[in-house]
Structure 1
């Protein structure tokens, strides 16, 4: 009997497998970001990490080794899933299923491609910082190339969005409002936000005012487009859900606002750092704390909304722990990863910086434990989904229609 697997019935949503793995590598980078001293730099680099390994206590050394292993493992998984998806997508483009997809609401699932590309570029930058000695000495030369890469990905995303909107806005009746009963149409905003946060990195790290200025303007453009597009998709989708209920297979998208808040939040923090260091625009730690608290509040709201719907629709028992499979299940990974990352920023850049919590106090570890719990729950989920979708068997689960 021929071996098969659910992933053989391809969907562009499988790019989310790459995105989720890349996000998990970022959760491990948070250990280094906030537990390794990096004086004079906004991020830790190879030299800071090796110094901490040789002089730090046993707890710090364990955390660093764990972080390095996690970054390496999930960065490799991120690239492996990216290359697999690109190959499968190129084959998919030659099928009738692709043409059908291009003429339906699901055309926006193609935005998972630039989303995954932007996530991988962000992830590779982290890998370079952590594992490449002396990278910081040439980092200024790398920023223009990084911004050019993100700009190219952003144009790729805008081209796909333009094709979709050009089709549905010029010919009436081509957009199925009854199938708009989820937040699946917010995927373009997700992709554009990932481009924006990548473009904002030089604003936080460069000392060249021109590079910082271009970074600020470029990231602002893509973030603004993402916010406007996301707002339109959010309100129109909610209207459709009130009329027709939430589409079961797309119900994980109800939590897409969670990664959006994390990505845009980090982008604004990067912009604020660049404005502060390069252009003498000063904010306070308390203002940052309240800003992050608002983002976390939005995340908790959409987490509760998503869990209510997923539970009522028995999504987990069917598509995560049951025999059914759906490539959209990978959309469950991003919210947990995003919560873990933003909680780390909220604690360190908000609560600790403003003096609400003492670093390494009992209360501090309570919140950090919650962030780590989300992280390891998502690790388990990724490994589970990879076995479901990519392991070959004689009786592979049949993907839901």
Structure 2
């Protein structure tokens, strides 16, 4: 577990507390369409306000590339943030540094909260520019990072400010780090990792790291096709990466050396076209036609996976098992997710999930609230799985 100070270790009454949140939320026509990230950040913000802090929220939105873009303003987030905090008034500053920010921050009462404009309107944010970090830090007395999802970026609001002010982990950050440590560093064994998604190339490092931490590795999605191709099986027109056959075989060999059980498909749902409700059939994995695509795992494979999970105490989930966005190719993802959720609620399995399409897949399966922990982080979650040191976490270490 990385070393960090939590909110239990600081008196925030009357202090200006800069909170780095991740409010990079889906928007359409100026309205937030999914406020999950805002709602998750509310716990830390409410606690700080209740303790008498003057709370100043920092976030980026989109990729304005250092220029002011009206379509990427954080102002439309004021109302949903106020709603998430129980209907209170949130002040807004038209810039995140300079006089506009200073005036709003200086006027905050104890227990008040302000949201500053998009950090990425300034090129200094992504460059971790010292002067920009100092301008941000000048608005606060303390710094709280509650944005694990941004902590793989060495940006000014993530690293620079943390090095200039006393730095602490917010409650969301703390929960994320504790959940990941539980699933990776101190996982109850036997432990399994379920890794899906389209490509092996994006997850080679993840797979290698996981072999040292789990007893079973379940591979699904397009990734599994590459492994099956590497074993000499005909995967027809399925998405796969022939150039990575050697690496796939190396991972299988490494798993055997480490006594890690690799679970690959034994049957699959195939179709000749990739569209909703396309005509499909279930075949043994050796019987995929030359003009067919593997779009989901078959029922025998699902049974195999669920049986393995029943003997495990920890599951780390990253990526869908098939083309879950298009029925009927969502069945394996839904079935395995629901089985894992039932084991979790029965107290038999700790389930930690995150990264990429994972949140959408588990939401589609109706199990988001039934897993032990689901991370909304994408790139940061994957880099953590790869064993990389995240700059934003490193910056929270006590100095």
Normalising to structure 1: TM-score of the pair? 0.28
Judging by fraction of residues, say which structure has more strand.
2
Between Structure 1 and Structure 2, the one with more helix by share is 1
Q: TM-score, normalised by structure 2?
A: 0.28
For the pair shown, which has the larger CA radius of gyration, 1 or 2?
2
